[in-house]
């Protein structure tokens, strides 16, 4: 199951807080697609997720400074 989380309007550290909260609601093996902006969110969210034991599947440039990070629980 894929769930989408749009945090393009959020700022650090809330970007990771909201991502971690969304991941906590998923079952093992489920994927979360996180829409975020370049800069700190793009640097911090994937790194923090990997540090927490989640798997970053892909990072896609969606254009206009928006990226989609797919994370597997």
Residues with a known catalytic role: 12
Q: Are 19 and 73 in contact (CB under 8 A)?
A: no
On the CB side of 21, how many CA atoms lie within 13 Å of its CA? Answer: 9
Q: How far apart are CA 65 and CA 73, in angstroms?
A: 25
């Amino acid at each position: 199951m894929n769930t989408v989380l749009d945090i393009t309007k959020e700022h650090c550290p809330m970007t990771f807080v909201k991502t971690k909260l969304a991941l906590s609601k998923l079952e093992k093996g489920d994927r979360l697609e996180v829409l975020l902006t370049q800069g700190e969110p793009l640097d911090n969210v994937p790194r923090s997720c990997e540090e927490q034991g989640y798997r970053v599947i892909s990072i896609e440039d969606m254009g206009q400074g928006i990226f989609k990070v797919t994370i597997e629980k």
